[in-house]
Structure 1
Amino acid sequence: MSTTATTTAPAPPARRGRKPNYGRYGLELVMIAAAVVFLFPVYALITLAMKDPRQISESPLAPPVPPTLANFGDAWTSASLGPALLNSTIITVTSLLTLIVLGSTGAYYLARCARGLGYGLYVLFLLGIVLPFQLGMIPLYKLVDDLGWLGTYQGMVFFYTGIQLPFTVFLYTGFIRALPQDYAQAALIDGCNHRQAFTRIVFPLLRPITGTVIILNAVFIWNDFFTPLLYLGGSGKETVPVGVFSFVGQYVSDYGLVFAGLVLAALPILVVFLLLQRYVIKGFAGGLKG
């Protein structure tokens, strides 16, 4: 009679408790605190815009109970925000289209079609970013006046195109340099010229950086106050910041109307940012990589 020895498998080692990552928790707390700091002005803006004067005087930062939307209608009619929004939209959209066309084509030339000369021109565009445009405000104003464009849309489009074109070319050039050249070269071999290769092959690939260009330039143009005040003052074509400024001075005691007007002024550019936000970091990172 034979006996079979039974072997017992060794027990697995006991799992050690995972140590808490206090550094990660601390970083999360810091990010939460930063989010609260940045969101508090937005909360105060919306809260005050939805209160009547009695609620504002009693508890300005408490939630509105009950909320009122009458301030928005009164602000729309009292501040004449309708014409101001139309003026800002015309100037912003026209300037963006001009910047996209000139910036993308110029960047394609600098990045692909010319080497020595292209590098020198690229450095000149970089100087346009470094130098503050305030240094040329008086000559620019004199130039626009000589052209007869004071108080006109084309004067503002001309100004914003010249000011923002170096930054736009910088973004497009870096992104184009990061793109593979195989598709454009294949189009040139098939008989396309550089214009056809750019419009049919390269430009559709520039959607991420184009979204970045739209957001960054639109925020600057839409929120600019000094230039429209100087170039459009008294012409009846004032933009939203100028209209809100005059409105705030007139109704400074009625904070509900003032904050409602600020919300209406910021709402269009906020909607555009939310629609294109996924392109901002992606396009800007691609431009820096190039």
Structure 2
Amino acid sequence: MKRKRKIKAVILMTLSIVLFALYFFPFVLVVINSFKSRLDIVSNPLSLPTSLTLDNYFTAFDTMNFMTAMWNSLIITVVSTVLIIVFSSMLAYFLVRWKWKINGIIFMLLIASMIIPFQALMIPFVSIYGNLGLLNSKWILMFFYLGFGLSLATFMYHGFIKGIPLELEEAAKIDGASRMQVFWKIVFPMLKPITVTIVILDVLWIWNDFLLPSLVLNSEANRTIPLSTFYFFGQYTSDFGAAMAGLVLAMIPIIIFFIVLQKQVIKGVIDGAIK
């Protein structure tokens, strides 16, 4: 039995290493080629660079207008995520604690809206908001993200809030706390595990989203990192080194996000799943 377990463990470890290598190899290839000239890439894309050069990164940084794109992505991601957290947590609390019949209907409508794909709505949205002259605005894009992200976040908060003892809120009310104080000082701090999980999901979704910003943001000054990368890559498809450098620059912010918050990311996902 011990021998079979060891053999099984070795097979699983080998398979994991192979899968990791297959998954990680394209990223390594992109990074290596981002330091090479176009001629070196064409002649042997699998070889290591003979001499390191940052010219590709300077070209990509300037042409992509990287700092403006990163600032746009940061503002849109942070504000949209905060709006989703605030509105969805309050809505879920209202749906759970107020026992109105219409609350059940509202909750079911929220669940049903999650089934509708965005592709079925994007043409009417763009047409309506375009006719109203409301496109090409970061605030309208944040409003869209709030609408599309509210259902899932409310659903996740709803199940979590149901597990919070009502006695804690009643004790706070006896001490003179208002409804808003009860929620923000008693209930919301207890929602930290599920809040971290929702933040992770929404940050990854909004930061990496391409389709919705491509429909809403038309001007170059409002482009996010995925949009800047797309237009830059389309312009520099013949300059493979600069194109690879642009892809690396686009990946760096989200990699830093995981490195800095990796403990919170793992803990939030595990606590949210267990709860």
TM-score by length of 2: 0.89
Residue 3 of structure 2, aligned match among 6, 15, 19 = 19
Measure the CA separation in 2 of the matches of 1:205 and 1:124.
Answer: 26
What secondary structure sits across from 1:130 in the alignment?
coil
Would you say the 8 A contact 2:56–2:242 is kept in 1?
A: yes
2:193 to 208, 214, 221: 208
Does the 8 Å contact 1:174/1:286 carry over to 2? no
Q: Which amino acid aligns with 1:118?
A: N
Name the structure 1 match of 2:133: 148
Taking the aligned partners of 2:215 and 2:22, their CA distance within structure 1 comes to: 34
- The equivalent of 2:124 in structure 1 is 139
Q: Deviations over 1:22-68 (max 9, x none)?
A: 22222222222221122112211211112222331232123334333
Amino acid at match of 1:229: S
SS at match of 2:3: coil
Q: In structure 1, what is the equivalent of residue 159 of structure 2?
A: 174
Specify whether residues 258 and 284 from structure 1 end up closer, same or farther in structure 2 by C-alpha distance, changes over 3 A only.
same
**Unmatched segments (≥5 aa) in structure 2:** none
Q: 2:52 aligns with which of 55, 67, 79?
A: 67
Give me the whole-angstrom Cα distance separating, in 2, the residues matched to 1:282 and 1:177. Answer: 21
Whether 1:29 and 2:14 are equivalent positions in the alignment is yes
Alignment of 1:1-290 (within 5 A): 18-19=2-3, 21=5, 22-114=7-99, 116-234=101-219, 236-288=221-273
CA RMSD across the alignment: 2.3
Shift of 1:128: 1.7
1:215 and 1:276 in contact (8 A); partners too: no
More displaced 10-residue stretch of structure 1: 142-151 or 216-225: 142-151
Deviation of 1:285 (Å): 4.8
**Where is the helix percentage greater, Structure 1 or Structure 2?**
2
What is the letter of the counterpart of residue 274 of structure 1? I
The alpha carbon displacement at 1:150 in A equals 0.8
Distance 1:106 1:147, change over 3 A: farther
The structural deviation recorded for 1:187 is 1.4
Question: Residues 185-206 of structure 1, C-alpha deviation per residue, up to 9 Å, x if partnerless?
Answer: 3212322122111111222222
Structure 2 CA distance for aligned equivalents of residues 178 and 106 of structure 1? 16
Query: Is contact 1:151–1:235 with CA below 8 Å preserved after alignment?
Result: no
Looking at structure 2, the residues matched to 181 and 67 of structure 1 have their Cα atoms a distance apart, in angstroms, of: 62
Count of paired positions? 274
TM-score, normalised to structure 1, is 0.85
The Cα shift of 1:116 comes to 4.4
CA deviation profile, 1:79-110 (whole Å, cap 9, x unmatched): 22222222222211211111111111112222
In structure 2, C-alpha distance between the alignment counterparts of 1:18 and 1:191, rounded to whole Å? 63
Task: Give 2:108's aligned amino acid.
Answer: V
Q: Which amino acid aligns with 1:194?
A: R
Q: For residue 180 of structure 1, report the CA deviation from its aligned partner.
A: 4.1
1:9-33 per-residue CA deviation (whole Å, 9 max, x = no partner) reads xxxxxxxx95352222222222222
Structure 1 unaligned blocks of 5 or more: 1-16
CA distance in 1, matches of 2:62, 2:267: 40
